Amino acid sequence: MSARAKRYTIHVVDVFTERPLAGNQLAVVLDAEGIPAQAMQRIAKEMNLSETTFVLAPEGAGNAARVRIFTPGSELPFAGHPTIGTAWVLFTQGLVPGGALEFALEEGVGPVHVRGEHWAGGVRFWMTHPKVSFGEVVSDRAAAAAALGLSEDQLVPDVPIQVASTGLPHVYVALKDAKAIDAAVSEKERLGKVFREGVFLFAPRGENQLYSRMFAPHVADIYEDPATGSASGPLGAFAVKYGLVKRSSTVSIVSEQGTKMGRQSFVHIELAYPRQGDFPSRIEVGGSVVPTLTGELAGGWEDQDRVTQ
């Protein structure tokens, strides 16, 4: 490696938690101009976290940054905890113009608006989701349950197994209780035979409280995700649509996720509803961020066009 090779600052943070070594890990590479996409993918694989983000100069006037999001296996157009975590890193490092608490990050789905709020533990960030859409219904409920290592009678009756999305689709499976959620098994081959999207399991756990897990080994090599912000916005809309959370003009939900895998997370969901219609007029997902590591990523490989396999 050349002695003059650029070095990149990298922050590792835990998202959707108020304590370190919980929540969902994220690596944020700052000032990533000059890193080609192939190298970004290799870095994400090297980090081996559910996502790694790369911060670039914004293309649109008034936006704080452009952000590219990579799992160890592919690039994503949008994701929740990378948006929240990257926003927090930019703000706490003084990299948001004017120190603004509200700004936009350019992602593959377009500008994603975030806002920060001060609270006793520091600054909590919220992201605004694009409009929610509801898609395909999985009609074979017995096969869907079996793919999760469950029986059909553990599903909530009269609630469809259905795809929903605000940019990154997931299929939502409502189960009767937390015991059924914890009994589910993430197995790549079985899930891939029934589902094309990541599978989000949830159960009501008290008023406006949900207990959740997310499996995606068949689409992103993620056997379980500790906290899935991109799925939590549609989760709130799905739960309200099918009567698992009571509808009102403003709905506040907390989704506990990652507990089974030892990385307990709390994802806050805020929905606003017009007087008529099934679709919320506003969806926000928020949470706390805890720093765990700061370091330097050695450069010198930016001009490599390909890697020998």
Q: Is residue 308 pLDDT above 50, yes or no?
A: no
Q: What is the pLDDT of residues 175-225, one digit of tens each?
A: 999 999 999 999 999 999 999 999 999 999 999 999 999 999 999 888 999
Q: What is the pLDDT of residues 73-116, one digit of tens each?
A: 889 988 899 999 999 999 999 999 999 999 999 999 899 999 99
Residue 55, Cα to own-chain centre: how many angstroms? 17
The pLDDT of residue 142 is: 98
The pLDDT of residue 9 is: 96
Rounded to an integer, the average pLDDT of 263-276 is 96
Q: Write the CATH number of the domain with boundaries 133-286.
A: 3.10.310.10
Instruction: Decide which of 167 and 215 is more confident.
Output: 215
Q: What is the pLDDT of residues 120-162, one digit of tens each?
A: 768 999 999 989 999 999 999 999 999 999 999 999 999 999 9
Instruction: Give the residue numbers annotated as catalytic, written as ranges.
Output: 51
Virtual torsion, Cα 110, 173, 256, 20, nearest 10 deg: -60
Q: Is residue 273 pLDDT above 70, yes or no?
A: yes
**Residues 236/91, Cβ–Cβ less than 8 Å:** no
d(CA 82, CA 289): 11
Given the DSSP bridges, would you call strands 170-174 and 161-165 parallel, antiparallel or unpaired?
antiparallel
Residue 156, Cα to own-chain centre: how many angstroms? 25
pLDDT band of 6, cuts 50, 70, 90? confident
Q: Is residue 247 pLDDT above 50, yes or no?
A: yes
Distances, alpha carbon 154 to alpha carbons 177, 182, 188, 194, in Å: 8, 12, 21, 17
SS3 261: coil
Q: What is the pLDDT of residues 286-302, one digit of tens each?
A: 999 999 999 999 877 66
The pLDDT of residue 304 is: 61
The candidate with the shortest Cα–Cα distance to 24, out of 15, 37, 12, 32, is 15
The pLDDT of residue 10 is: 97
Given the DSSP bridges, would you call strands 222-225 and 198-204 parallel, antiparallel or unpaired?
unpaired
Q: Write the CATH number of the domain with boundaries 7-129+290-298.
A: 3.10.310.10
* CATH 3.10.310.10 segments of the chain: 7-129+290-298, 133-286
